[in-house]
Structure 1
């Protein structure tokens, strides 16, 4: 960590950070929401520019570009689903199966933005693979792999199958929301091809919960 910026990796082309929960990835629409990961990164790396985003309440591995080429190259990898993403979450309840897939289309809930909702007719395809890592005390620790990148996808998909993420202020019931003081969703690892060397890289950050 350098100062207040949680740096995992930096070179002449990319900057990989461990985003804390409660911090926007990019500035919000009002002056009081100007503080964000991108602006903090630019205090130390003036060329830093966002490639993808994590929800404000989600923590974990995120990559920023330091060149236009890096932004375009890695951005295409995200668009073509060539990156490898794994999240860890704590969810309410005990799942009977060890693995599964949620295939449930998502669309913005316009009257209640930024909330999303499941819409089999008008929603965009959204697929999440999941695996149970640990069970106990009415809580399951999950590994989540999003095969698509819809807004709030993991949060909504877990709630959709009856196992909302602890601390989720959008999709969890009041009791589940109160079990933790933060959203228990963490981007544990991210893999992609380096835009200059062509090397396959994977960066990790242990979940803080």
Structure 2
């Protein structure tokens, strides 16, 4: 939880520097070795200032994950669910193709497996991102691309999980057609499910 107002101690610029230092250290050292003292040294901000804003490294890391520009991208609006999912998949792929950001994602996932606190942080981050993606699915339902009783979380988990497995675990190259083939498979499933329920999606 943020302890100070935006205008204090340098405001948004200083906060961004702290978030960058926090994620840099998470990627290079892992969750266990991440400390507020280390973040203070890396960011050039006095540790007492950081402690006034955040009482623990978990609070600091949560805000860094949620608000840092490094793990953020704009939502697409292509006019179709298939197009939006393809754009989303390509943006997730581009994020993971960046070595620095991929290292941060890997460290977060490893920490989530080992530590309850880090798992809660990652779940909070994923829930936040899913909430930000909701307009994509709301537009799709309004157009008839997605049945109103469909669960968008299944699509997001399947798409992100496939990309994470391909890039982070298999260390495989993602061909230009991979994201399109992945989205085609997901949309085929959506359409089949909608047809079986008597409400065909477009």
TM-score, scaled to structure 1 = 0.27
User: Greater helix share, 1 or 2?
Assistant: 2
Whichever of the two has the greater Rg, that structure is 2
TM-score, scaled to structure 2 = 0.28
